[in-house]
């Protein structure tokens, strides 16, 4: 299975600012997925990122709030823009390889 | 769109007790099914998966799950739990075929008492 590294592992941010989360995979993958896990809740898919095309967002998530880049087959970034305390969550990068595999996640706290 | 429901939100068991966590999914087509585990402070790990073939699948750490197509169910079982099984367990489903998104259930917190 793929090895996924995310940076930063955690951050505390001021409301109104933006944070970019990086995801690096040790092998080339066609699709990468970004999830959010809010406190005490399950995982919710934010968007699917294909290399060379616009990300596909799930209902309730928009590009202006969560812009995603996918410059090559091993890397992606998710930006959480204009943050509010409601964005406090764990953000996870995932790849699908006969099952979804996850990095350690980024624990974001917005104050 | 597919969805997953997990019936138990919080389960408390004594060590050596048997475990069964319920999972039902809704989707009319062919699916892949998964159970993930999240130990305290750690990231999600794949416990076991079903793609096709024998509906009884065995995973790591003595866990198994049975796919019953007629009931749209994929329950997780373990004959004898240990304190180290304390974790949150997520059932998940995806459509068959490559690169399909995975939909997760709400999770079941398992607490095993020594």
pLDDT in tens, A49-87: 988 888 999 999 999 999 999 999 999 999 999 999 999
d(CA A100, CA B1): 18
Q: Is the model's pLDDT at A40 over the cut of 90? A: no
d(CA B16, CA B80): 4
* Nearest residue in B to A32, CA atom: B99
- Looking at residue B44, its pLDDT comes to 86
Residue B111 three-state SS = strand
A48 vs B100, higher pLDDT? A48
- Looking at residue A104, its pLDDT comes to 86
Query: Inter-chain contact B107–A42, Cβ cutoff 8 Å?
Result: yes
d(CA B87, CA B37): 7
For B33-87, the DSSP string reads: EEEEEE-TTS--EEEEEE-SS-SEEE-GGG-EEEEEGGGTEEEEEESS--GGG-E
- Looking at residue B34, its pLDDT comes to 94
Chain B contact probe: residue of A6, A9, A41, A42 with most B CBs at under 10 A: A42
- Average pLDDT for A39-52: 88
- Looking at residue B35, its pLDDT comes to 96
Distance (Å) from the alpha carbon of B22 to chain A's nearest alpha carbon: 16
pLDDT in tens, B54-84: 999 999 999 999 999 999 999 999 999 999 9
- Looking at residue B97, its pLDDT comes to 74
- Looking at residue A108, its pLDDT comes to 96
Residues of chain B with pLDDT under 70: 98-99
Which of the four pLDDT bands, split at 50, 70 and 90, describes residue A22? Answer: very high
Query: Inter-chain contact A100–B34, Cβ cutoff 8 Å?
Result: yes
């Amino acid at each position: 299975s793929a090895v996924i590294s995310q940076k930063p592992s955690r951050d505390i941010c001021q409301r109104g600012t933006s944070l970019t989360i990086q995801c690096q995979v040790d092998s080339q993958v066609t699709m990468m997925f970004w999830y959010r896990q809010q406190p005490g809740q399950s995982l919710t898919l934010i968007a699917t990122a294909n290399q060379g095309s616009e990300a596909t967002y799930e209902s309730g998530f928009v590009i202006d709030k969560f812009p995603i880049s996918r410059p090559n087959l091993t890397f992606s970034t998710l930006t959480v823009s204009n943050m509010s305390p409601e964005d406090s969550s764990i953000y996870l990068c995932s790849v699908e390889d006969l099952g979804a595999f996850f990095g350690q996640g980024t624990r974001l706290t917005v104050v | 769109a597919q969805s997953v429901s997990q019936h138990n939100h919080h389960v408390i068991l004594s060590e050596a007790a048997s475990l069964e966590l319920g999972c039902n999914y809704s989707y009319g087509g062919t699916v892949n099914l998964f159970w993930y585990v999240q130990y305290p402070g750690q990231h999600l790990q794949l416990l076991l998966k079903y793609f096709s073939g024998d509906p009884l699948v065995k995973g790591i750490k003595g866990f198994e799950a049975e796919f019953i197509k007629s009931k749209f169910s994929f329950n997780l079982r373990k004959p004898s739990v240990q304190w180290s099984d304390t974790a949150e367990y997520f059932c998940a489903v995806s459509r068959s075929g490559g690169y399909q998104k995975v939909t997760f259930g709400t999770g079941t917190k398992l607490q095993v008492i020594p």
